[in-house]
Structure 1
Amino acid sequence: MPEQCFLRWRRKYGNIFTIWFGEQPQVCVAEFNKIIETFQKDGEAYSGRFTFEEFDKLVRGGTYGIIMTEGEFWRGQRRFALQIFRDFGLGKNLMQDKILSELELLFERIEEEIKEGKDVDFGENIDISVGSIINNFLFGYRFDNIQDFIHPWSLIRLWPSLRYLPFVNSYFEYLKGVDNQLFDFHKRQIKEHLNSINSPPTDFVEAFLLEKQQKDLIGVPHDFTIEQLVGVANDLWFAGQETTSTTLNWGIAFLINNPNVQDKVHAELDSIIGDFDRIITTADRPSLPYLNALINEIQRMANLVPLNVAHKLTKDVKIDGYYIPKDTTIIPQISAVLADGEIFENPEEFSPERFLDENGKLKKVDELIPFSIGKRQCLGEALARMELFLFLGNLLNKYKFMPGNDGIPSLKRINGGTARCRKYKCRIIRREESCSN
């Protein structure tokens, strides 16, 4: 696994080392305190982004979006996106209500498959739910079934896994075709919005288009172009879908592989919630330390971004006496931190207890940084945390997850843009029935 390779190199070469992709050096910071010292305490210096500008120009006309842009352009677009997240209730009851509405529809799909006596493809079902939440935020509609969802999702999954590989030229025509299809999907959604823009806006695209209209009217230069909107939609769709649904899919796979852990979280839910049909909300979070510890351990073990995301220095820096010039590619090796045995004892073991103190209370572990750190910290972190708690809490309160006919899910990862879980089906049992037997 990549993180184990980074840990071996750290032991051999030290906390900071350089790897080479052809003629391109990449400096790696592979120790937690050094990551804090650099990417957090001097965040602006480490906030640049390494990009293939010529490739982006050939494929999509330029570098757009939020994830792969930098400088004032990136700061302005990130600030706007965060404001719209806040306006639409991110971290508040409004967003919670939307998540819980999707959860009810997920329950309906699961109940239908239970009724038919089928093993359930959990990953497919959670993809629809999480995809509908971010799609509703962006474009104002949800997916009614898997067929609506499959096309954009398959393209989103292909793109980040391949786009920034150093040998990308051999995939150029293939990637260009994928990219054109993906952006055509987003352009169609945006084109429909152009015909009727609501004020106040009801989704992100409308908010962006209203901002564009206002700046066009007063005649000031701005970055709120249709090309940028397509890029932002792509970034937010991927960030809001891939990481959360993949984490939840891993979570159920870990629980099926570790039934003792599932028993413990069920015991906590029975003690605190005490009703299989009661909907858990974020107000319950402080009362459920084991569930919170479980979510932390799922994120640590899933270790979703094994290769980490490359940054670029915006000025010359010195780290531990090493001079590193401006524009150097530099990477915080967060995946190595999450797998570091000096921080997390027996890191290969699935153990939520590592996040609990001797009194069973949730303890803060600073080294758990699955959403990155510094200026490039995930802007959708609040939404993702809410989704993970509400989905896992309510699913585990209502159901027990067991191996399907094909056996327990494999924990062997599929490494790409993110570390995905292999496809599996599981048996889902209503807890009210399993407890009464």
Structure 2
Amino acid sequence: MSALNHKMLDLFTWVATQFWLVNYIQRLRFLPDWFPLQFKKVGKRGLELQKRMRYWPWEQMVDHFKRGIAGPSIALEYLEKNENLDTVRDVLGMVYSAGVDTTASTFASFISQMLLHPHVQRRIQAEIDGNMGPGDALPSFEQRPQLRYLDAAWRESMRLNPAAPLGISHVSLKEDVYEGYYIPKFTGVISNIGYASHSP
């Protein structure tokens, strides 16, 4: 993981665990910057990191393209479709930053499951060894259909420990009724993925 990923993950984790008065009294955001409120400083730092996360994947892709080492990527697909460069850059930044914490926690969960269940790890290794060609370092996406046990173990790991157990909050744009529950317009809705993935 790059240093930028670590900084973003650390900031995200820290911010998510703090009580921010501005979340409850939103008019506080209009106070001047010199006013001694920590959320202003944290917000500026987060904005700087967000801008770096937005531009870094694009800069990496351009660098790899110039050096002739760019493989297939979503960036090249967008460029071949003559998409706006700002749009391509923004999509790359969103995809990259959205995956920092979820990818790290998903891999950590899978590794911990392998440590807890070494017999599963041995069976996965045997399946990989039986399906890999000589000189292959890692399985490719094309080999995924042959690695059914690995795929099942990966999916089970994500079910046991979803990266975002409370999902992403949404807001209802109109009033609705869902399975007998009345949801007023502009109500925050959070899906409990953690509960759903453990519910029989």
TM-score by length of 1: 0.33
Structure-2 residue corresponding to 1:336: 195
Amino acid at match of 1:261: V
C-alpha distance after superposition, 1:183-228 (max 9, x if no partner) = 1234467789xxxxx8xx8799xx76546xxxxxxxxxxxxxxxxx
Structure-2 residue corresponding to 1:294: 153
1:180 offset after TM fit, Å?
1.0
Structure-2 residue corresponding to 1:239: 98
Q: Distance in 2 between matches of 1:203 and 1:154?
A: 32
Structure with the bigger percentage of strand:
1
- Candidates 41, 44, 68, aligned match of 1:177: 41
Q: Distance in 2 between matches of 1:238 and 1:268?
A: 33
1:277 offset after TM fit, Å?
4.5
Instruction: Provide the secondary structure at the position in 1 that maps to 2:189.
Output: strand
1:330 offset after TM fit, Å?
2.0
Cα distance, 1:247–1:152 mapped onto 2, change above 3 Å: same
- Would you say the 8 A contact 1:265–1:290 is kept in 2? yes
1:156 offset after TM fit, Å?
3.6
Match status 1:305 vs 2:161: no
1:336 offset after TM fit, Å?
0.7
Cα distance, 1:238–1:268 mapped onto 2, change above 3 Å: same
- Candidates 142, 146, 167, aligned match of 1:283: 142
Q: Distance in 1 between matches of 2:116 and 2:151?
A: 19
Structure-2 residue corresponding to 1:327: 186
Q: Distance in 2 between matches of 1:191 and 1:283?
A: 30
Structure-2 residue corresponding to 1:168: 20
C-alpha distance after superposition, 1:22-72 (max 9, x if no partner) = xxxxxxxxxxxxxxxxxxxxxxxxxxxxxxxxxxxxxxxxxxxxxxxxxxx
Instruction: Provide the secondary structure at the position in 2 that maps to 1:314.
Output: coil
Cα distance, 1:305–1:339 mapped onto 2, change above 3 Å: same
Q: Distance in 1 between matches of 2:189 and 2:129?
A: 47
Q: Distance in 1 between matches of 2:9 and 2:172?
A: 33
Structure-2 residue corresponding to 1:252: 111
Instruction: Provide the secondary structure at the position in 2 that maps to 1:323.
Output: strand
- Would you say the 8 A contact 1:162–1:168 is kept in 2? no
Which structure has more RCO (C-alpha within 8 Å, separation ≥ 6)?
1
Amino acid at match of 1:286: P
Amino acid at match of 1:168: W
C-alpha distance after superposition, 1:314-336 (max 9, x if no partner) = 11212344433211222222211
Q: How much identity, in percent, do the aligned residues show?
A: 26
C-alpha distance after superposition, 1:98-147 (max 9, x if no partner) = xxxxxxxxxxxxxxxxxxxxxxxxxxxxxx1xxxxxxxxxxxxxx4xx5x
TM-score by length of 2: 0.65
Instruction: Provide the secondary structure at the position in 2 that maps to 1:318.
Output: strand
Amino acid at match of 1:179: G
Amino acid at match of 1:184: E
Aligned-residue Cα RMSD (Å) equals: 3.8
Instruction: Provide the secondary structure at the position in 1 that maps to 2:190.
Output: strand
Paired residues for 1:192-207 under 5 Å: none
Which runs of no fewer than 5 residues in structure 2 stay unpaired? Answer: 29-36, 57-61, 63-74
Q: Distance in 1 between matches of 2:8 and 2:178?
A: 42
Q: Distance in 2 between matches of 1:152 and 1:306?
A: 20
Cα distance, 1:274–1:267 mapped onto 2, change above 3 Å: farther
Amino acid at match of 2:20: V
Amino acid at match of 1:272: N
C-alpha distance after superposition, 1:252-288 (max 9, x if no partner) = 1210121111011112112222647444211101111
Cα distance, 1:189–1:323 mapped onto 2, change above 3 Å: closer
Match status 1:151 vs 2:151: no
Amino acid at match of 2:196: V
- Would you say the 8 A contact 1:156–1:238 is kept in 2? no
Q: How many residues align?
A: 168
Q: Distance in 2 between matches of 1:327 and 1:188?
A: 32
Amino acid at match of 1:158: W
Amino acid at match of 2:11: L
Q: Distance in 2 between matches of 1:308 and 1:210?
A: 28
